[in-house]
Structures are given as structure tokens and as C-alpha cells.
């Protein structure tokens, strides 16, 4: 029997935001592999083995999935959001490239999901309507000076910016430094969106002017979207709409 490996995105949290293609792959799987809270989102059923592992073991988890697929299992590796955005898909290909040739001959498919950045942007309006970039603020897998360089250059180029992994208990100072850099470089009150636990019962959306942002406004469940200089706020009763116009005047 020939196995296969699907790398699937579960979306930001709500069941309605899991694509039908991902649900179908899960219903056919013999094994689901992933970080504990993501595997917990997959309903158990007879014939399905759930392999939940801790964070920071991405490559071990990827190798385990490849081994099982090679042995004939139908394996789904799950990530939250989209599996290609700061998640398991790249880890699987990294393991496949370095591993036995049989791993590269496998049927491997990546099924996209709704990434946190897009779910958060949609809640606020259309802050990513013009050019933007996405930056992972965690320095677990890259040196901090590189993050600073990218932040400064992106701010200078006037991109809107979406930040993943803005702040954790283990690295509280990174996001404080990020805000200092942006406040120094941008010198304005452009809107910043703090979108926490989007599409879950704990969802919370705040829009705060850049000069009034403070580090504790974000945690690991927060997506932070910083507007460009052209980003607009439409105040109204309740949460404002935030959007970035399609055009920049010449």
C-alpha cells in the first residue's frame, strides 16, 4: 500500500473557516500529526490515531510524519491558519530534502488554510488593501538583529505590516523594541490593529494609534497589523473600520 502525506491548514479557529478540502483530507486520514492545541481541534474517530507533540520539535514531527507515510499510512500534518505561513509545510520539505530518497518520492500535498493575518484584516476592514509584508517577530529561528533590519526597512518603504508571534512570556522585550522602532521611524498616529484569538469565543479586536501602543496590548494569541502612512480609520459607533486605499498618489 502506498502512503500519502497531506499538510493542511486548520484556519484561525472557527470550524466554518476550515476548508471543505481540509475536512475531506481529515476524514480519510489514518494519522494526524501536529502541535498539541492544533491536534486537539481534530475530532477523534475509530481508525484515526492522533499524534500530538510539543512545540519546538517541528523537524522531528515532520520526520515522523514522513516515516509513517512511507510505511503506507495516510498522514495529515496539521497547522493553524495556513500550513505554509510560519508553520509545518516548510519543515516537512526541509526534512524531505535532507532525508532518504523515498521521502521525496512520496505523494505530498499542501492544502491551504485561512492565515491569521487575513482573518484579522477582514475583522478590521481592509488594512491590507495596498502593499504589505508579513514578519514573524519570534527570534527562536532567526537572530533578532535581522528582525530589526526588516522592521526598519519595511517601515521606511511604507508597507503595511502584519506581525505573527508578537510577544511571548519567554521574550517580552522583542515587541517593546518593535514598537520603539516603529514609533521612531514612522513618527505618526497611524492605526495599529490588535486582533486576538480571531474567530474564537475569546476574540478581541482593538484599534490603537501607533503613538499610544504599549507592549502588553499583544500576546501570543494576537495578530498585530500596523497600517501604512495612507491607512485610514472610519470612526463609527463600536469598532471603527480600518482600510488602506488601493492607490498611492504619484
Under the binding rule (CB under 6 A), the answer on residue 199 touching ligand SAH is yes
Q: Which stretch binds ligand SAH (CB under 6 A): 93-101, 147-155, 159-167, 179-187?
A: 159-167
3-state class (DSSP) for residue 183: helix
Closest to 196 in 3D by CA, of 171, 217, 172, 169: 217
Residue whose entry in the numeric block shows the C-alpha cell 491551504? 112
Based on CB atoms, which residue is closest to ligand SAH, 3 or 138?
A: 138
* Residue 146: CB minimum distance to ligand SAH, A: 17
- The residues facing 224 across adjacent strands are 163, 194
- Out of 82, 124, 182, 192, point to the residue binding ligand SAH (CB under 6 A): 82
Under the binding rule (CB under 6 A), the answer on residue 178 touching ligand SAH is no
Under the binding rule (CB under 6 A), the answer on residue 120 touching ligand SAH is yes
Residue number of the CB atom closest to ligand SAH: 81
Q: How far is CA 92 from CA 66, 67, 139, 203, in A?
A: 8, 11, 21, 31
Distance from C-alpha of 152 to C-alpha of 63, rounded to nearest angstrom: 36
Distance from C-alpha of 157 to C-alpha of 151, rounded to nearest angstrom: 10
CB-based contact 162:118 (threshold 8 Å):
no
Based on CB atoms, which residue is closest to ligand SAH, 73 or 221?
A: 221
How big is the CA angle at 196 (ends 113 and 231), to the nearest 5 degrees? Answer: 85
- Indicate the DSSP class of residue 62: H
Binding residues for ligand SAH, how many (CB under 6 A)?
25
Based on CB atoms, which residue is closest to ligand SAH, 3 or 125?
A: 125
Under the binding rule (CB under 6 A), the answer on residue 8 touching ligand SAH is no
Contact letters for ligand SAH, residues 205-244 (x by CB under 6 A) = ---------------xxxx---------------------
- The residues facing 107 across adjacent strands are 4
Q: How far is CA 118 from CA 49, 124, 169, 222, in A?
A: 31, 10, 25, 13
Based on CB atoms, which residue is closest to ligand SAH, 80 or 178?
A: 80
* Residue 123: CB minimum distance to ligand SAH, A: 9
Under the binding rule (CB under 6 A), the answer on residue 78 touching ligand SAH is no
Under the binding rule (CB under 6 A), the answer on residue 175 touching ligand SAH is no
61: number of Cβ within 10 Å: 23
Distance from C-alpha of 236 to C-alpha of 99, rounded to nearest angstrom: 56
* Residue 198: CB minimum distance to ligand SAH, A: 4
* Residue 13: CB minimum distance to ligand SAH, A: 4
- Tell me which residues touch ligand SAH (CB under 6 A): 12-13, 79-82, 85-87, 115-116, 120, 164-166, 195-200, 220-223
Amino acid at each position: 500500500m502506498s502512503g500519502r502525506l497531506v499538510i493542511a491548514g486548520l484556519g484561525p479557529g472557527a470550524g466554518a473557516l476550515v476548508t471543505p478540502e481540509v475536512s475531506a483530507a481529515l476524514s480519510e486520514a489514518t494519522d494526524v500529526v501536529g502541535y498539541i492545541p492544533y491536534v486537539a481541534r481534530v475530532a477523534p474517530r475509530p481508525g484515526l490515531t492522533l499524534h500530538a507533540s510539543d512545540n519546538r520539535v517541528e523537524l522531528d514531527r515532520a520526520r515522523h510524519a514522513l516515516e509513517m507515510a512511507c510505511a503506507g499510512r495516510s498522514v495529515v500534518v496539521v497547522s493553524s491558519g495556513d500550513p505554509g505561513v510560519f508553520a509545518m509545510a516548510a519543515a516537512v520539505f526541509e526534512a524531505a530534502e535532507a532525508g532518504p530518497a523515498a521521502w521525496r518520492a512520496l505523494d505530498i500535498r499542501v492544502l491551504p488554510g485561512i492565515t491569521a493575518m487575513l482573518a484579522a484584516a477582514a475583522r478590521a476592514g481592509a488594512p491590507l488593501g495596498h502593499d504589505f509584508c508579513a514578519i514573524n517577530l519570534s527570534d527562536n529561528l532567526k537572530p533578532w538583529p535581522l528582525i530589526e533590519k526588516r522592521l526598519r526597512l519595511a517601515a521606511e518603504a511604507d508597507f503595511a505590516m502584519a506581525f505573527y508571534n508578537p510577544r511571548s512570556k519567554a521574550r517580552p522585550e522583542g515587541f517593546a523594541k518593535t514598537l520603539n522602532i516603529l514609533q521612531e521611524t514612522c513618527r505618526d498616529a497611524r492605526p495599529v490593529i490588535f486582533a486576538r484569538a480571531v474567530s474564537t469565543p475569546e476574540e478581541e479586536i482593538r484599534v490603537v494609534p501607533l503613538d499610544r501602543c504599549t507592549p502588553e496590548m499583544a500576546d501570543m494569541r494576537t495578530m498585530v497589523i500596523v497600517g501604512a502612512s495612507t491607512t485610514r480609520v472610519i470612526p463609527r459607533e463600536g469598532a471603527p473600520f480600518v482600510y488602506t486605499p488601493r492607490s498611492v498618489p504619484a
